[in-house]
Amino acid sequence: MNKYIYLILVSFLAAIFFMFGWFSHSSYLPAKKIEKQSSLTKIKRKKALNVVLLNSPSTYYIGVDGPTGFEYDLLKAYSEHLGVKLNITPAHTISEAIELSKNPDIDITSASLTKTQKRSDGFNFGPSYFEVQEQVICHRGMHKTNKFPHDVEDLAGLKIMVGKNTSYAETINSLQNDGFDINASFTSELSTEELLKKVSKHEIDCTIADSNIYALNLRYFPEIRMAFSISGREQLSWLLKKDSSELKADMYSWLNTFNQQGKMMQLKDHYYSYVLFFDYYNTKMFYKRMKSRLPKYTKIFQEAATRFGIPWTLLASISYQESHWNPKAKSFTGVRGLMMLTKNTAKLLGVKNRLDPKQSIVGGTRHIKQMLKFVPKEVSGENRLKFALAAYNIGLGHIRDAQRLAREIGLNENVWSDLKIVLPLLSQKKFYRDLKYGYARGEEPVKYVESIYNYRDILENNNNKLL
């Protein structure tokens, strides 16, 4: 009898133990759900922001000085705000970027993506950081055959290609559904930039690109031309996971501060300001001389760059702006040579023969290096070079006048994007009469600096072909 009582007691205790474990497990599960980490918390704990970046001039590429690009710089600034490392997974097309976004380890995808309903179904969008329009881009030569399109109906019969899974493909499909006769093909192999190159070579008649992508690539492919806008204003945003509300809220807060501090304006100015100075003929001549004249002096520019710590592409661009790489160039004021030095400047720099390419390049580079030393220490980063170049063109005294004027009208005297607003005012009497150095043709240094950086970007985009 004791044996049976013992078995019943053991069974009862086992049942009690099972029930206790079951209740404990049930009460524990909800607590785990409550403590589920947000995407923002995960990023901070792993101390890394994993992003997919489209490898293109409008987003991210490896330049002479390392990673660069508008969206790269923006994401770099955000990762620094978070205090984490920026890890990049490059993508070569929008289709590839969207596919890589499905990787659970990816936090953000940046690929010049507009907000569309199809993308919203699978992803979350972060804050908007750029406004664009979709534009039809065609070969400039089509004007000669009267086939250059001016509206959607003119696209009938033309050879058009756009990227698969892009907003451009959605636009084409929508127009075709509305009854428009558009002969379009879709590719998952070619990026928008590669399609613009095909248009430039007239391998296809037209493609579609966002206005910012067209603006950035116009200097690389001068044979392309915007036909007409095919959409209204659209917003570019980063692509996030569906469960990223906390990360999204942090982005909105950070971007708002970034805008208020004027940093977004500086970034846009750095990458897009030269668009205002695009000249088809000058750009064509630059490409021509890049092949025929530059190779004679590339090695000298590179040696000067190593010696003085200034990028050779910038030195070559200054020289082109000054003399079009003509060693015997001479202006009506008497400046001469590749770097167009005056007699007095050449003497101070130890240049005995201004027409000697090596002496001119070394002397001009030394002069720029000296200008850099006189730029106020409050001016930092790329702004220092731009200030030095402006001083090289107009004189340091006028730059200091412009800085003073910037302070007086509430602008930041230490950033180029603000200084170039002020410089043209130096030619107006109501502004220059109270300044130490008086009148100056202030628009010239603005065009000078912007043109040099435009040439520099073209050189860096073709760097592999030049070396």
Render pLDDT for 364-409 as a digit per residue (tens, 0 to 9).
999 999 999 999 999 998 999 999 999 988 888 999 999 999 999 9
Q: Do domains 41-130+236-275 and 280-466 have the same CATH topology?
A: no
Share of the chain above pLDDT 70, in %: 90
Q: 3-state DSSP call for residue 433?
A: coil
Give the pLDDT band of residue 334 (cuts 50, 70, 90). confident
pLDDT over 70 at 100, yes or no = yes
Q: Return the CATH fold of 41-130+236-275.
A: D-Maltodextrin-Binding Protein; domain 2 (3.40.190)
Sign (positive or negative) of CA dihedral 58, 420, 264, 134: negative
* CATH superfamily to which 134-232 belongs: Periplasmic binding protein-like II (3.40.190.10)
Angle (CA) 158-163-167 rounded to 5° is: 100
Q: Comparing 5-14, 235-244, 282-291, which segment has the lowest mean pLDDT?
A: 5-14
The larger pLDDT score, comparing residue 19 to residue 231, is at 231
Structure tokens at 4: 């049976």
Q: For residue 338, how many other CB atoms are within 10 A of its CB?
A: 32
Give the pLDDT band of residue 276 (cuts 50, 70, 90). low
pLDDT over 70 at 92, yes or no = yes
pLDDT over 60 at 190, yes or no = yes
CB 361 within 8 A of CB 342: no
Q: Report domain extents, the chain.
A: 1-32, 41-130+236-275, 134-232, 280-466
CB 334 within 8 A of CB 343: yes
Angle (CA) 164-165-166 rounded to 5° is: 90
Out of 322, 413, 450, 460, which one is annotated catalytic? 322
Which amino acid, one-letter code, is at 184?
A
pLDDT over 50 at 176, yes or no = yes
Render pLDDT for 305-317 as a digit per residue (tens, 0 to 9).
999 999 999 999 9
Structure tokens at 275: 């668009």
Q: Return the CATH fold of 280-466.
A: Lysozyme (1.10.530)
Q: Comparing 11-15, 148-152, 160-164, which segment has the lowest mean pLDDT?
A: 11-15
Angle (CA) 378-380-384 rounded to 5° is: 105
Q: Is 322 a catalytic residue?
A: yes
